[in-house]
Amino acid sequence: MLLSDGTKILTRTVIWAGGLKASSLSDNVGVTPGHGGRLDVQPDFSVKDFPGVYALGDFANITGADGKPLPQLASVAEQSGKWCAKNIAAAIAGEPEQPFRYLDKGIMAMIGRNAAVAEVGEHRHELQGSIAFAAWLGVHAALLTTARAKVETFVEWGWDYFGKAHADPILDRASQIDINWNDEEEETGSGPKP
């Protein structure tokens, strides 16, 4: 591999990882990007006309068994990563690579404390509120890879949930740090007394 500064890294395998959207790299690899600037891939994640080159996650347009594009979700990226690794191992061993079969586990989004939405199950049952929030926490904890990570995460989540201290806000305008977000409570007299 040759880096832009001229550094050479001797390797037989290169893995690049990123998220949220296709990197501008997809415009510069000699393959016409598809929808969203992502690379269209074969069912085994290989890039057509580029033997030994695979693309997945937010860098690739991956289709499901029905031929429809899969959403850009962490679940798709995680499953495709494991599947692609098996296909690379199969290719090295001279065995046939297998087309990807995605297992749809549903869609979840955490909005805030006790506030989440989810669609789960084959018939897309909708959940919301505290139940969806608990489901979101459970699924994300289950995806952590080590027991230590799970314990540390549960302690941190518990501290955040039950504690009164909250992290400092990350603001795009420094002037917002001076805003008293409790102005309304103080004006109505319902806020905390000094």
Predicted confidence at residue 60, as pLDDT, reads 86
**Mean pLDDT for back-to-back runs of 10 residues, the chain (194 residues):** 81 64 64 80 89 84 86 85 93 93 84 84 86 86 86 86 65 54 51 48
Residues of each domain in the chain carrying CATH 3.50.50.60: 1-102
Across-strand partners of 60? 39
Q: What residue has token string 């006309």?
A: 49
Predicted confidence at residue 194, as pLDDT, reads 46
Predicted confidence at residue 182, as pLDDT, reads 57
CATH code assigned to 1-102: 3.50.50.60
- The answer to whether 126 and 118 are in contact (CB under 8 A) is yes
- The answer to whether 134 and 141 are in contact (CB under 8 A) is no
Strands (E), the chain: 39-40, 46-47, 50-54, 60-61, 107-112, 115-120, 125-128
Question: Is the whole model's pTM more than 0.85, yes or no?
Answer: no
- The answer to whether 117 and 106 are in contact (CB under 8 A) is no
Predicted confidence at residue 100, as pLDDT, reads 93
Rounded distance, CA 75 to CA 105, Å? Answer: 8
